[in-house]
């Protein structure tokens, strides 16, 4: 039976976890620290003991009871060069700062190994909660940090194989919005330039495109380009598409960096394809580019609010919050491409 949530009760210690699991103090420390050379059986016993003893839970609860929240939340993001994540970080900070919480931000550079290192470092530095834009395909290993009393909230990309909160956009619906808009405008040769194929956001946006186009305009599959992550590779992918004997009459760019590269490559050609992007960057509004977007501020604030809540209520049942996406139609998809349609 797990310990009660009484803030006045003594905090569970690592020694108690080790005793409950039947291992040495050093082994318990290694298991909870995510170090190598710990067997799966030993790891399972240590994690179970930590959960049963509610290890570190009372520390967070006592902070809440005294009116002093944890002093630091860690945010791990994948790409500092992407303005979407700058806006996300700002929204998270706007939510936690009035509560007296400092936000620490780190960049994984979309590397799973770097993400693991940064997450462990945050936990070792007594960061009280983590908000993660994850580069991992499987998040089961984050159970080790949860067992150490560190709440985890995933944002923009959902948790996989882990009971943890996630806050994401309805990217599949977003893909449907983009595809339906272009199909209804008369386009049949619609290209999609996507980010890394393993990214949940990119997979879901492609799935939404498929929902609309697989039956009506299956040629879009021949015009699908993935693993495009930066402006330079987006320009190259766009150039390749435009050089086809039958180039696309419309292009959907999978995120704002891809959109920038595609727009630069398209230029001002009179027969330029219609263009729709994801994420509403300021320059996209200036250039009149149609976009599918969600409320980034709401995304960040909701993730931050969940992280703060978990500091005092570790028994909170994990949930996946899905926020809607909307289509904003501008000149880029309203006036281009008609000369190529037929």
Q: What is the CATH number of the domain that holds 278?
A: 3.40.50.2300
Q: Is the pLDDT of residue 338 over 90?
A: no
Rounded Cα distance, 74 and 123, in Å: 9
18 and 155 both lie in a single domain: yes
User: What's the Cα-to-Cα distance from 280 to each of 175, 183, 193, 224, 293, rounded to whole Å?
Assistant: 15, 21, 17, 22, 6
Among 200, 148, 178, 132, which Cα is nearest to 14's?
Answer: 148
pTM listed for this prediction: 0.78
Total structural domains within the chain: 2
Q: Is the pLDDT of residue 193 over 80?
A: yes
pLDDT for residue 246:
94
220 and 334 both lie in a single domain: yes
281 and 319 both lie in a single domain: no
- 106: β partners: 76
Residue 26 binned pLDDT confidence (cut-offs 50, 70, 90): confident
In 170-280 the beta strands, taken as DSSP E runs, fall at 190-193, 224-225, 250-253, 274-278
pLDDT for residue 306:
95
Q: How far does CA 97 lie from the centroid of its chain? A: 21
- 256: β partners: none
Rounded Cα distance, 327 and 208, in Å: 14
3-state SS record for 83-130: HHHHHHHHHHHHHHHHHCCEEEEEECCCCHHHHHHHHHHHHHCCCCEE
Note whether 259 and 198 are within 8 A (CB).
no
153 and 239 both lie in a single domain: no
pLDDT for residue 266:
95
Residue 8 lies in a domain: no
194 and 214 both lie in a single domain: yes
Among 90, 91, 83, 74, which Cα is nearest to 323's?
Answer: 91
pLDDT for residue 10:
62
115 and 218 both lie in a single domain: no
Rounded Cα distance, 64 and 55, in Å: 17
Of 63 and 125, the one with more pLDDT: 125
Residue 284 lies in a domain: yes
Residue 131 lies in a domain: yes
Please give the mean pLDDT across all residues of the chain.
87
Q: Is the pLDDT of residue 54 over 80?
A: no
Q: Is the pLDDT of residue 9 over 60?
A: no
User: What's the Cα-to-Cα distance from 165 to each of 195, 268, 289, 303, rounded to whole Å?
Assistant: 24, 44, 33, 8
List CB contacts of 99: < 8 A, sequence separation 6 or more. Answer: 69, 308
Give residue 216's domain range.
Answer: 171-294+327-340
Residue 338 DSSP code: G
Per the rule left: phi > 0, alpha: psi between -120 and 50, beta: everything else, 319 is beta
If you count them, how many residues does the chain have?
342
Residue 180 lies in a domain: yes
Residue 9 lies in a domain: no
Percent of the chain topping pLDDT 90:
65
312 and 164 both lie in a single domain: yes
195 and 332 both lie in a single domain: yes
pLDDT tens profile 302-319:
999 999 999 887 777 889
The tokens describing 151, both together, are: 């709440």
pLDDT for residue 269:
73
238 and 305 both lie in a single domain: no
111 and 202 both lie in a single domain: no
The tokens describing 298, both together, are: 């709401």
Residue 5 lies in a domain: no
273 and 239 both lie in a single domain: yes
Residue 126 lies in a domain: yes
Q: Is the pLDDT of residue 64 over 80?
A: no
Cβ-in-10-Å burial (0-12, 13-18, 19+) of 192 comes to: buried
pLDDT for residue 124:
87
Q: Which residue has the tokens 């909660």?
A: 129
pLDDT for residue 11:
65
pLDDT tens profile 65-88:
444 444 789 999 988 888 899 999
Residue 129 lies in a domain: yes
246 and 335 both lie in a single domain: yes
């Amino acid at each position: 039976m797990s310990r009660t949530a009484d803030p006045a009760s003594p905090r569970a210690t690592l020694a108690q976890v080790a005793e409950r699991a039947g291992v040495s103090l050093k082994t318990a420390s290694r298991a909870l620290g995510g170090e190598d050379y710990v067997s799966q059986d030993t790891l399972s016993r240590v994690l179970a003991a930590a959960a049963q003893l509610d290890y570190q839970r009372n520390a967070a609860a006592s902070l809440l009871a005294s009116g002093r929240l944890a002093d630091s939340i860690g945010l791990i993001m994948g790409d500092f060069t992407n303005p979407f994540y700058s806006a996300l970080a700002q929204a998270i900070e706007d939510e936690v700062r009035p509560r007296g919480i400092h936000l620490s931000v780190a960049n994984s550079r979309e590397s799973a190994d770097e993400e693991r290192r940064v997450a462990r470092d945050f936990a070792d530095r007594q960061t009280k909660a983590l908000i993660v834009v994850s580069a991992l395909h499987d998040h089961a290993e984050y159970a080790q940090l949860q067992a150490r009393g560190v709440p985890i909230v995933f944002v923009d990309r959902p948790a996989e194989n882990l009971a943890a909160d996630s806050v994401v956009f309805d990217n599949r619906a977003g893909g449907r919005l983009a595809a339906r808009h272009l199909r209804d405008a008369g386009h049949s040769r619609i290209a999609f330039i996507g980010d890394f194929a393993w990214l949940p956001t990119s997979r879901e946006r492609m799935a939404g495109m498929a929902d609309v186009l697989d039956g009506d305009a299956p040629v879009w599959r021949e015009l699908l380009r993935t693993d495009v992550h930066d402006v330079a590779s987006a320009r190259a992918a766009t150039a390749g598409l435009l050089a086809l004997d039958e180039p696309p009459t419309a292009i959907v760019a999978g995120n704002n960096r891809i959109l920038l590269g595609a727009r630069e490559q398209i230029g001002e050609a009179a027969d330029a394809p219609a263009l729709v992007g994801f994420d509403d960057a300021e320059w996209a509004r200036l250039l009149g580019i149609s976009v599918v977007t969600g409320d980034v501020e709401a995304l960040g604030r909701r993730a931050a609010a969940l992280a703060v809540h978990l500091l005092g209520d570790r028994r909170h049942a994990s949930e996946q919050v899905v926020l809607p996406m909307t289509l904003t139609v501008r000149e880029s998809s309203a006036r281009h491409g008609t000369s190529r349609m037929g």
